[in-house]
Amino acid sequence: MKKVLFVVFLLVSIVSYSQNRYSKVTTSSYQPMSSSEISNVAMTLQKRYNANQKYLYNMKKWILELKPQISEQSFLTRLDKEYKDLTDIEDGDLARATKYLNQTENAIREIISDYNIWVNKQNASNTSNSTSKENSNSSINYVQLAMEHFQKQEYALAVRNFSKHLEKDKNNTDVIMWRAMAKGELKDYYGAISDYDKVIELNSNYPMQYNKIAMVYNNKAYTYVKQKQYSKALPFVEKALELDKSDWHFWDTRGEIYLNLGQYEKALSDLNKAIKIEKHYNSYYLRGLTQIKLGNKEKGCRDLSKSGELGNADAYEAINQNCN
């Protein structure tokens, strides 16, 4: 259905382009476009459509990666609005959406900037009671620095600055969780699990302000998934789901565990629930592999294609291996 709509859009765009091209030409001087000119217009629009589609999917992926790092609901709401706006236009006239997409990128950058300013003010407020006898390093906002490094994928520097903050605020469970996430990106799985355990231990007395304990259990489970310790991961994601069934991450994680344990029907059920909550490329990817394992090649390959459309390069490798 999408291919048909795209062809209609492309033809309409060509007509519109030709009308604008001759809008100031008199009847006597009118010269029809040659077939090669029409072909060039179509190719130009196709290239622009493809580039803008990739641009749109990358921005949606960027928003999804940003959300777990943001702790204040007002900024999450703003990101959700930008994500919805992108979703609303993704099947539309993308060849002519370059300006709109640029504006959306600027809006996302503005949200990040506003959030960083907010975090800086929060941390400044939290440290306002420090005495003047503390050395000048006490004024450094290590959490802010760590977050900036995290966003730039400079994870070792993020770990270092989270750790510097924890030297004077050792029971800050939010910072310990963020450090665990950075360690996970560095494949320091034992260090990440140690931090997640510390958050679980401390949270009853020092509850997190910006994160939820269910996510800690999920992240610990997924750290075991990265180590291919699927049976060990299962009880932790089940604890996450016991606490919160509304987050797609948790269903996605358990679906991946069931897939690797060969429990394909259970995996399919969980991934269906994940996609119902959030149409994320990873859930489509896992569901595609699950469908293929169940012998439903056509459905599985469609899911892998959808995952690729949403920006997952791994999906195309899976397509080459399973669908061609």
Residue 180 belongs to a domain with what CATH number?
1.25.40.10
226 neighbors 195 (Cβ within 8 angstroms): no
pLDDT for 136:
46
pLDDT at 259 over 60: yes
Residue 66, in any domain of the structure: no
Return phi, psi of residue 276, to 5°.
-65, -35
Structural domain count of the chain = 1
pLDDT for 243:
96
Confidence of residue 74 (pLDDT cuts 50, 70, 90): confident
Lowest mean pLDDT among 94-98, 180-184, 284-288: 94-98
108 vs 113, more confident: 108
Residue 193, in any domain of the structure: yes
Question: What residues make up the domain containing 159?
Answer: 141-211
Lowest mean pLDDT among 4-13, 198-207, 307-316: 4-13
37 vs 192, more confident: 192
pLDDT for 11:
29
Residue 169, in any domain of the structure: yes
Lowest mean pLDDT among 27-31, 47-51, 177-181: 27-31
74 vs 43, more confident: 74
pLDDT for 23:
31
pLDDT for 20:
32
Confidence of residue 70 (pLDDT cuts 50, 70, 90): confident
pLDDT for 39:
55
Alpha helices, H only, 186-247: 189-202, 213-226, 230-243
Average pLDDT estimate for 250-272:
97
Of 207, 197, 212, 272, the closest CA to residue 243 belongs to 212
pLDDT for 305:
95
- Separation of alpha carbons 275 and 269, rounded Å: 10
pLDDT for 324:
87
Residue 155, in any domain of the structure: yes
pLDDT for 117:
82
Return phi, psi of residue 223, to 5°.
-65, -40
Of 106, 112, 179, 116, the closest CA to residue 144 belongs to 116
pLDDT for 29:
45
Residue 148, in any domain of the structure: yes
Residue 24, in any domain of the structure: no
pLDDT for 280:
94
Q: Give pTM, 2 decimals.
A: 0.60
Residue 196, in any domain of the structure: yes
Alpha helices, H only, the chain: 2-21, 35-66, 73-89, 98-126, 142-151, 155-166, 173-185, 189-202, 213-226, 230-243, 248-260, 264-277, 281-293, 297-309, 314-322
pLDDT at 244 over 50: yes
pLDDT for 37:
53
Q: Is 47 exposed, middle or buried (0-12, 13-18, 19+ CB in 10 A)?
A: exposed
24 vs 143, more confident: 143
Percent of the chain with pLDDT over 90: 56
**Angle, CA of 224, 208 and 111, to the nearest 5°:** 95
- What is the overall mean pLDDT for the chain? 83
Average pLDDT estimate for 146-163:
92
pLDDT for 138:
52
- Separation of alpha carbons 291 and 265, rounded Å: 9
pLDDT for 229:
97
55 vs 123, more confident: 55
Residue 235, in any domain of the structure: no
Average pLDDT estimate for 187-202:
96
Cα–Cα distances (Å) from 299 to 75, 247, 251, 258, 277, in that order, read: 37, 25, 20, 19, 20
Confidence of residue 53 (pLDDT cuts 50, 70, 90): confident
Length of the chain measured in residues: 324
